[in-house]
Structure 1
Amino acid sequence: MISDPMNIVPVILSGGSGTRLWPVSRPERPKQLLPLTADETMLQLTAVRTQGFASASVGRPILVSNAAHADIIDEQLKQSGIDEYSVILEPIGRNTAPAIALAALEAQPADALLVMPSDHVIDDLPAFHDAIARALPLVAKGWLVTFGITPNGPETGYGYIQMGETCGDGVHEVARFVEKPDVANAQRMLAEGNHAWNAGIFLFRADAYLTAMEKHQPDMLANVQTAMAGAKRDGAHIFPGAMAFHACPSDSVDYAIMERETQVACVPVSMGWSDVGSWDSLHAVSTRCTDENAVRGDALLLGARNCLVHSDGPRVTLVDVDDLIVVVSQGEIMILKRGESQKVRKVTEAIKAIAAATSTN
């Protein structure tokens, strides 16, 4: 599609703590490092997602991660047969805009950075690869491209992208980014038909991203540059300078860059995507057995329907109940109604409050 094939560098963002999937996901081993939807972990599935891409060369991936997870990441990438990679280990989380800037400075200026969260599901890889190929001509011209998920319902848990004029093969200029809507606005956008969910997956040249950051977030860029200039290196591990990175402003790539730029495009795609952001969404993407139940671990279900059971040891037995989520992990047991899994945040907050109260006594 373009005369000079670009080099795509996968940039995998793996700094999240995954608290919405407590008690399985914990800060020391968050959801991206767990096998939640397959035998492989979410990180492993992401790392091999660009294999077989034919429209451009694909270089060694760059991961940006919490320093505490370095050994686990090494182990999992090697299990997946990935021997050449770099891991930039953040001394502190500063959200996605600085994280991507770290990777952009590590890459070559003309590299096309394929930015992917490490904890998403994409079932239809050919559709994803086709969307990447459609984006490349604009990326080569310096555009910042995002991938919008074709919505299948009025979801209120995602931001939306309003698409404008066509600017390529199945590619649209971004008219605006929309905050997470209420139900009425989500239904309206779905009816209008020119909106997509914001999946947080991007493709742009490293130099185009850094130019945009210099224009819109010069302080952020200066701190990231100082941190990378003073980085220590140990094999595949890169340790940015802690003092400079601590001083870096914290912001998402959407707010800091994408919403401020003019040459921003969206490729709408339907590719079996999920952010696995809750136990309910895990149930939705899991293989179902009898009566729409999804089971991982040892379970006995008698007359149970539409339930999710996840156990790391003890057998869970459900008798004549519907729409339950039951999680047994690391000595903790959690039971809640299906459709209410966003309330897990209340659980983690309550546990923190109990721990704080105990420590002061």
Structure 2
Amino acid sequence: MEPAISTTLITPVILSGGSGTRLWPLSRSRKPKQLLALTGEKTMLQMTAARCADNTRFGQPIIVTNALHADEIALQTGDCPPAAIILEPAGRNTAPAIALAAIEAGSDAVLLVMPSDHVIDDCPAFHRAIEAAMPMVEDGWLITFGITPEKPETGYGYIRRGEEIAAGVHKVEAFVEKPDAARAAAYVEAGNYSWNGGIFLFRADAFLAALGAFEPEMTVSVRASLNEAARKGPLVYPDPAAFLASRSESIDYAVMEKAEKVAVVPVEMGWSDVGSWDALHALGAGGPHGNVLHGDIVAIDTRDCLIRSEGPVITTVGVHDLIVVATRDAVMILPRGSSQEVKRIVEALQAKSHDTLDMPF
């Protein structure tokens, strides 16, 4: 007999505090990647909100971000107005951010926590995974969604799955740090490891109880910051002094690695964290000659390149395996497969206090 489908309304919690520096020169502190249209006509934030547009299953979202992006987020979510936009005084990682949303939503709320800057191509598969998890969520379990690995990947953390405790739901045996290449290959070969995609589902009271047990001072600080918050329509401004008293910690370290009732739902849903220019190339590489082209581009005898212009014409002849990105004020060129080196570019620009890190292109 199939389990009854829960009718509990789920509150999406969209975490939108990242700066997205790995996608410089497009992504900048004043307009990071989640506020950009990188893979289609909609921005990453809009695509995230659209996954929960069914108002028979999902309530209005709660977005946690910073004050720098408040106006742009309100503008972009006009078709799916949030119940609250919580503006962190400063970033304190995911555990305090989720605590803000959990307290704001209320203890009975079921929270679907999602980063604002991921791609999910197979939304029905994602929704099926949510429904598989819901009976465990209503029994107080903290659920994470494990992405089925496509290849040995050293850039993600992994989740080792244990026994199946419900249809499609496994107890988490361990959260594993980002591995080296040999370990990543062994994890994929073993077949009981998933990528840790940072997407969670749980009751607010279950999360807050676990956070209170393992991080009591953080819980007190976050709750005090909301008790003293200023409010203006959907905008919520936590008290800076109270919130900044919280230490910075991820949900994995603060709660998920320590709590007893933690489970994972493995899912194949066309997921990408769009964490690099190489990832963007992989998402669109089905075009002619393996090129991904955007903007005013003339590519002759060019293959396996990502070339993107937000203004000037870019012309190439006889090149391959490059990433070329141009805005009105910056040009970046590097070999494809080396896009993690953008970090070094950003660090060099930071040393010069270069305005291309901050000013929108």
Q: Give TM class, smaller chain.
A: over 0.9
Counterpart for residue 357 of structure 2 = none
Q: 2: distance between equivalents of 1:178 and 1:280?
A: 24
Q: TM-score, normalization: structure 1? A: 0.95
Q: In the alignment, is residue 96 of structure 1 matched against residue 94 of structure 2?
A: yes
Aligned length: 352
Of 232, 236, 243, 2:241 maps to 243
Counterpart for residue 183 of structure 1 = 181
Q: 1: distance between equivalents of 2:164 and 2:130?
A: 16
Displacement, 1:330?
A: 3.6
Counterpart for residue 133 of structure 1 = 131
Query: What letter corresponds to residue 47 of structure 1 in structure 2?
Result: A
Query: What letter corresponds to residue 264 of structure 1 in structure 2?
Result: V
Counterpart for residue 283 of structure 1 = 281
Displacement, 1:52?
A: 3.7
Displacement, 1:287?
A: 5.7
- For 1:172, what is the secondary structure of its paired residue? strand
Q: 2: distance between equivalents of 1:355 and 1:60?
A: 39
- For 1:71, what is the secondary structure of its paired residue? helix
Counterpart for residue 15 of structure 1 = 17
Of 224, 227, 233, 1:226 maps to 224
Residue identity (%)? 54
Query: What letter corresponds to residue 46 of structure 1 in structure 2?
Result: T
- For 2:353, what is the secondary structure of its paired residue? helix
Unaligned runs of 5+ in 2: 355-361
Unaligned runs of 5+ in 1: 357-361
Query: What letter corresponds to residue 30 of structure 1 in structure 2?
Result: P
- For 2:14, what is the secondary structure of its paired residue? strand
Task: Give the conservation status (yes or no) of the 8 Å contact 1:288–1:295.
Answer: no
- For 1:327, what is the secondary structure of its paired residue? strand
How big is each residue's C-alpha offset from its partner over 1:198-229, in whole Å with a ceiling of 9 and x where there is no partner? Answer: 00000000000000001000000000000000
- For 1:136, what is the secondary structure of its paired residue? helix
Q: 1: distance between equivalents of 2:7 and 2:210?
A: 23
Query: What letter corresponds to residue 187 of structure 2 in structure 1?
Result: M
Displacement, 1:118?
A: 0.1
Displacement, 1:316?
A: 0.8
Q: In the alignment, is residue 50 of structure 1 matched against residue 52 of structure 2?
A: yes
Q: In the alignment, is residue 62 of structure 1 matched against residue 72 of structure 2?
A: no
Counterpart for residue 104 of structure 2 = 106
Query: What letter corresponds to residue 198 of structure 2 in structure 1?
Result: G
Give the 3 Å change call, closer, same or farther, for CA 343–3 of structure 1 in structure 2: closer
Task: Give the conservation status (yes or no) of the 8 Å contact 2:230–2:239.
Answer: yes
Q: 1: distance between equivalents of 2:241 and 2:182?
A: 45
Task: Give the conservation status (yes or no) of the 8 Å contact 2:62–2:82.
Answer: no
* Pairs within 5 Å for 1:161-240: 161-240=159-238
Q: In the alignment, is residue 339 of structure 1 matched against residue 337 of structure 2?
A: yes
Task: Give the conservation status (yes or no) of the 8 Å contact 1:9–1:59.
Answer: yes
Counterpart for residue 359 of structure 1 = none
Q: In the alignment, is residue 298 of structure 1 matched against residue 296 of structure 2?
A: yes
Task: Give the conservation status (yes or no) of the 8 Å contact 2:309–2:326.
Answer: yes
Task: Give the conservation status (yes or no) of the 8 Å contact 1:15–1:64.
Answer: yes
Q: 2: distance between equivalents of 1:330 and 1:228?
A: 41
Displacement, 1:129?
A: 0.3
Displacement, 1:117?
A: 0.1
Q: TM-score, normalization: structure 2? A: 0.95
Q: What's the C-alpha RMSD, in Å, of the aligned pairs? A: 1.2
Of 4, 7, 31, 1:5 maps to 7
Query: What letter corresponds to residue 214 of structure 2 in structure 1?
Result: H
Displacement, 1:58?
A: 1.1
Counterpart for residue 123 of structure 1 = 121
Displacement, 1:4?
A: 5.5
How big is each residue's C-alpha offset from its partner over 1:82-106, in whole Å with a ceiling of 9 and x where there is no partner? Answer: 1343100001000000000000000
Counterpart for residue 359 of structure 2 = none
